Amino acid sequence: MPEQHPTPVVRVRGLRKEFPGHDRRHPVVAVDGVGFDLGAGEALAVVGESGSGKTTVARMLMGLEQRTSGTIEVCGRSRGSGRPGAAERRRRAREMQLVFQDPYLSLDRSQRIGDILDTAVRLQHDLSREARRARVDELMEQVGLLPRHATVYPRQLSGGQRQRVAIARALAAQPSVLVLDEAVAALDVSVQAQVLNLLCDIRESTDIAFLFITHDLAVVNQVCERTLVMRGGTVVEEGPTARVLSSPAQEYTRRLIDAVPRPGWTPQRSGTAS
């Protein structure tokens, strides 16, 4: 049974995804019977080795992949598996946003950073030009970008700066939930730490909940108070991050922990970002 949460912003039950296999009679079962609650303002990590089904869960949550069966509720409303209309898509965008691993692929390379953020603000809010500009400035400041970054293109930024832009763009919708799919995996360890600190700061200053998908348990340790472990499409373990990391119930989880390559890393939640 998934852990119950009094006011979940995301409630998932019995989620299953089958992809067509080589043989019609034997589909690939990527996700099988996954269930969890994500509370308002909570950070839940979904960890597991490559191919365990993490991204498929995220894609089904975002409506990018149709589920085979199961239910998804976001902000108390059930999400159907059909194609939503424009108004419904806008409403959903205000509820949940996704940040991908590679911001370079998800950002419009032909737009300056200020325009990318302005487009995101415009999609979500009926604001005057001045108010939009102020909101863009505020978003840039919130993610630690400088005013001069507004006039440059994505290619002129570092990987870490581009991921800050992707986070700012997601925050423009003022969502209740941010789904981060390997959002720091492509960054150097020191840049990774900065972006993780930024995410901790955002959580401190907003009521946003994170669903943090990663194969890297060192990252989990820093950001998430609860961790769900996936293997072969199913949830094999779930609990407070400190407990899962310090005394895992599953040998599989133990192996994931042992695979963390950082020297000096200990499985305890670090403090707030500086």
Binding site for ligand ATP (CB under 6 A): 19, 28, 30, 48, 50-56, 215
Closer of 54 and 149 to ligand ATP (Cβ): 54
User: At its nearest, how many Å lie between ligand ATP and the CB of residue 152?
Assistant: 30
DSSP result, 80-144: -SS---HHHHHHHHHHEEEE-S-HHHHS-TTS-HHHHHHHHHHHH----HHHHHHHHHHHHHHTT
User: At its nearest, how many Å lie between ligand ATP and the CB of residue 203?
Assistant: 23
What region does 117 belong to: left with phi over 0, alpha with psi -120 to 50, or beta?
Answer: alpha
User: At its nearest, how many Å lie between ligand ATP and the CB of residue 20?
Assistant: 7
User: At its nearest, how many Å lie between ligand ATP and the CB of residue 134?
Assistant: 38
Closer of 63 and 114 to ligand ATP (Cβ): 63
DSSP state of 48: -
Closer of 31 and 178 to ligand ATP (Cβ): 31
Closer of 53 and 114 to ligand ATP (Cβ): 53
CA distance 76 to 40: 11
CA distance 256 to 184: 18
